[in-house]
Amino acid sequence: MDIGKAFTFIFDDPDWLKKVAIGTGLTLLGIIFSIVLIGLIPLIIVTGYTVVLIKNVMDGVEQPLPEWVDWGDLFMRGLKLFVILLIWAIPLIIVSVGSSVPAVLSENSDIQWLWIAISVCCSCLTFILGVAYALIEPVITFRFARTGEFGSGFEFGQIFRLLGDNIANIIITVIIVAVAGFVLVILGGIVGTIALVIGLFVTIPAAAFLSEVIQAHLYGQVGREAEAKSVEPL
């Protein structure tokens, strides 16, 4: 894997500023309208954009940052991946809700301790499922980017085989994505605050979009290497 390339490839594109500006604008709209479902539309389009980026990286495109064209297609790609990942996250969501249920305030100590025990168990299970989801999400994503088929997100045999065969690259990718996202958001907050706070309306969504782009490039690299050593098509 070329980790450094994931952070620099953007600037190899002569139109990188325009492309990043559009992605930043869509991310900002998604943040602003996040309190209503309409806010999902621009964020889903951005997701579709990253899907195309992942495929470009897997195909070895020299300048993989896609053009902002055919937004309907970007939306459909993003929507499919969003639903796939949401379905995979259902167990994690259910367990995390269980971990947040407070102990019952009752004079019956047996019931109270039962709820505390359930909450603790759910918290532990939430952590385990969270780690598992973080590791399997890149595989689901680059497989969907390659096939474009909704069903590819639920071919469990293929998914778990790819996860096992590429676990080292996936762990490295997950760690880098988490650290990069955290650093970019912090820098975006600092720069935006210095720019009279108003700058936050640009720097925070820009940081979020760049995090998505970096993640997509890394996923594409993992997918490309997985294809190279796989005896079966993805």
| Amino acid 20: pLDDT | 95
**Distance (Å, rounded) from C-alpha 80 to C-alpha 149?**
8
**Average pLDDT of the chain?**
87
Domain assignments of the chain as residue spans, ordered by start = 3-229
Amino acid code (one letter) for 231: V
Pairwise CA distance, residues 213 & 132, whole Å: 22
- Average of per-residue pLDDT across 197-216: 85
Quick: pLDDT tens for 69-105.
999 999 999 999 999 999 999 999 888 876 666 544 4
Q: Are 184 and 211 in contact (CB under 8 A)?
A: yes
- Which tokens sit at 135? 């590791």
In sequence order, which residues have a C-beta less than 8 Å from that of residue 201 and are 6 or more positions away?
28, 192
In the prediction, which pLDDT does 195 show?
A: 66
pTM: 0.89
Mean pLDDT in residue range 102-118: 61
Instruction: Report the C-alpha gap between 123 and 134 in whole angstroms.
Output: 16
pLDDT band at 31 (very low <50, low <70, confident <90, very high): confident
Distances (CA, A) of 65 to 8, 24, 125: 11, 14, 38
